[in-house]
Chains A and B, each alone.
Chain A
């Protein structure tokens, strides 16, 4: 069974304190791994898609990386506005392409 596990469940940082969120996956074959950001009361906002091990993508203070077993979302010098829940999801190749989501990491950045 395809599984996606995110850690930690919750993370509190001080403004400017860099850290990483983890998304580990167990799938038969990866078609793509996605990162989303979700603010309270809103739908998830698409951030990145990663397709193959070694791939990296950046957007402002966020950088996503991918290995054969996990993905990291690195947050450099976070600001309070980066506070949100970060979700990752995977699509399996050769199948129905139904995405499987992790439970998310709730990030709070204190000023």
Chain B
């Protein structure tokens, strides 16, 4: 069974731009969660989508948004990029919402200059 895939793997953007990251979950998994990982803050939860609905949202500004499609694929968008948004963005899928076992993708490394 194919794992979680994320595209692109690496991205360089400048301040003020916006970015869209994509995540394809494991086949059959309907929940997709997004995380931000930085050396300073560790792994922080952004949001979770299940059946195209946002189920949970972490403590991030409104510049961070996401959506899920009917095939469970998900995208997250960050608008008006700031230097502090440089991070590894991880997507994780699970069978159900709030799933105990999450399977992570390799991440997208975003660098904001």
Q: What's the interface size class on A, roughly?
A: 20 to 34
Residues of A within 8 A of B105 (CB): 43
Distance A49 CA – B101 CA, assembled complex (angstroms) = 7
The residues of B that contact A34 with a CB separation of less than 8 Å are 100-102
* Beta-carbon contacts under 8 Å, B30-88 to A: 42-45, 48, 55-56, 58
**Would B90 and A104 count as touching, CB distance under 8 A?**
no
- Hey, which bits of chain A sit against chain B, CB under 8 A? 32, 34, 36, 41-46, 49, 87, 89, 91, 96-104
Say how far B51's CB is from chain A's closest CB, in angstroms: 15
B69 vs chain A, min Cβ distance (A): 21
Whether the Cβ atoms of B106 and A43 lie closer than 8 Å is yes
* Given contacts A43-B106, A44-B104, A49-B100, A97 and B42 within 8 Å (CB-CB): no
Binding site for A on B (CB under 8 A): 4, 42-45, 48, 55-56, 58, 90, 92, 97-98, 100-107
Which chain A residue has the least Cβ–Cβ distance from B55?
A96
B25 to chain A, nearest CB (A): 13
CB pair B100–A101 under 8 Å, yes or no, is no
B42 touching A104, Cβ below 8 Å: yes
Min Cβ gap A63→B in Å is: 18
Which of B44, B48, B102, B106 lies at the interface centre, i.e. has the most chain A CB atoms within 10 A of its CB? B102
Neighbour of B107 across the interface among A42, A49, A101, A103, CB < 8 A: A42
Residue pair A87, B43 in contact (C-beta under 8 Å): yes
Contacting pair B4 A102 (CB below 8 A) = no
Q: Which residue of B lies closest to A44 (CB)?
A: B104
- Chain B min CB distance to A29 (Å): 14
Looking at the assembled complex, report how far the CB atom of A65 sits from the nearest CB atom of chain B, in whole angstroms: 17
What would 15 A/B residue contacts be, using CB atoms closer than 8 Å?
A42-B106, A42-B107, A43-B4, A43-B105, A44-B90, A46-B101, A49-B101, A89-B43, A96-B55, A96-B98, A97-B98, A98-B45, A98-B48, A99-B45, A101-B43
Give every chain A residue within 8 A of B97 (Cβ-Cβ). 97
Rounded to whole angstroms, the CA-CA distance of A42 and B44 in the bound complex is 16
B103 contacts A46, C-beta separation under 8 Å? yes
